[in-house]
Structure 1
């Protein structure tokens, strides 16, 4: 193993010093950060205490006076000592040395610890030197405070407090009814689930009320999207809507606005599933359905922004365009071109309603080179010119 190259790489990666010790004596060191090299030094006693933490089982991370951070990797009769780095308050290191007389670092500011980078370097050195490979999860569990145990303690404390104060969470059965309504596209049942009278309180997901409401909103929207997908909504639509609603939640600044958006999001998912169910009932009356039909529909949905040709889809499925056209029409009652146009116009409606993009950009984003032709197609589909549709129904 080329130790000099490895140490130089680690020094550049972490912007700190890498030393190699044998029998508690420094045999080799590299520090590409020249300012740090000139100003940093550890006392012999402090070095001895740090080296005692090394072990062959896996890399060790130690903090000094809960401020500086060092990494240790043992290799045969050598120990790599990596550091100093500055402590990152987000992570609590389980091993700490407290010393008044530890050395010096003058006025130089030590690089802040980036956990992913120090983990990467420690694992690289250890796994090159040992047959037993350590994975990141093992290293983190060995060196940082166990957040699982902390969470469990919080759970026990809260459970005890809630029982003492006779406080309970909201009804799980109501929650099932709410998301089943979305999955079934049942608008009436969804409204009934909202209106239910039940004991219990909504959980708290942050100490700050606004942040807690935002977190709850993101959870509800995520669950609603999954319920809609179970009801048949295409995953790409479900995920994209979930992302959009979650980003909108982050923008809002009142509990009332967030609550309103959560309800609107749930209703939107329910309406989408409801429309899908209607379409499914219509299609089930036709002798149905060749597996190629689903593939054609999925391909069109993923490529709404392109000027798709039937030949492209036929080539993808290794059949002739004429065969594909006849197959699609037989199973759906419409041509591929008509279905493609219909889906593009539905998407155009959404863009006109909810986005601030100009009509020219919407037209080109759907693969139309002519805005006037797009306008003509859209009017045939909706009964309105794009500008009129946006003005009448668009959200301000």
Structure 2
């Protein structure tokens, strides 16, 4: 039995998107594959309180005992390979890849990405790209209707993510202003685990204070524990994003598993995987990042403004339409999502994830063995 070293940079101990991915990858291979999983331990830390099967992570074998192949999880970074087969699970969610990322990833034997959109981009730079959709902790993220009474009296929308141009947070207030210009009462909460500080916080606070009285805006600027995240989701009626591109968009999947309808741009992995029976999609158009004149995008342009790298701009009018449309049929949509939740659990379970990961690992080990014999 081959031993796979999960090189997650200790992300499994963190309450982040890659942290959740690392925990799911470990559990998928440990519980549903023939491979043995090993990790580097930090005994001073533990997985987030509330994560399912915490004992699994505490009792995994140490990589100090040796391994046969490495599976790294995280954003592209320089590699120091050991000469053993090396797989890299990452994502991008833009219409092109930074040149230095392409150079770093070229050293990996195999790339794994969440969906076909990312595969189409990474395949321009690498010959061996596999798709493995992500899995959600379906044992943890469940509907808890009793928590709704702790939330706003009005119909309540939730955004979860970093505060910044790429996540489309600059579009949120204008979209809600258009959607509810008739005075219908609504609550909008932004839970931003990064980016909402300093000038960004001051500007948002000022705009929120001057917003139409029928649209009540609140926000948080920290990362919530898993237990609080589940409670927070269930306090709202719908979860939305106006992001300009997502590799997966974990908060929307956590929302759907919690029985909440979602709103999302029809681009990248969102259009590929989010179910139409649970999501109201927003039209988008492709825009080259280097051409964006908005000062709010300056940091994004500096980081990703190479020729050919694009993002996907949500249409503001269509965003307003989508937000209002689910408002008009919220009870029906929530009932539908809860009734069909089992379809998500089945389609994006750990067994399906293990099957996709095992296919990538099998192909990599076979190819590397053939190369060494040649």
Range of TM-score over shorter length: under 0.3
Q: Which is helix-richer, 1 or 2?
A: 1
Larger radius of gyration: 1
Give the TM-score of the pair, scaled to structure 2: 0.22
Relative contact order higher in (CA < 8 Å, ≥ 6 apart) = 2
Give the TM-score of the pair, scaled to structure 1: 0.21
Q: Which is strand-richer, 1 or 2?
A: 2
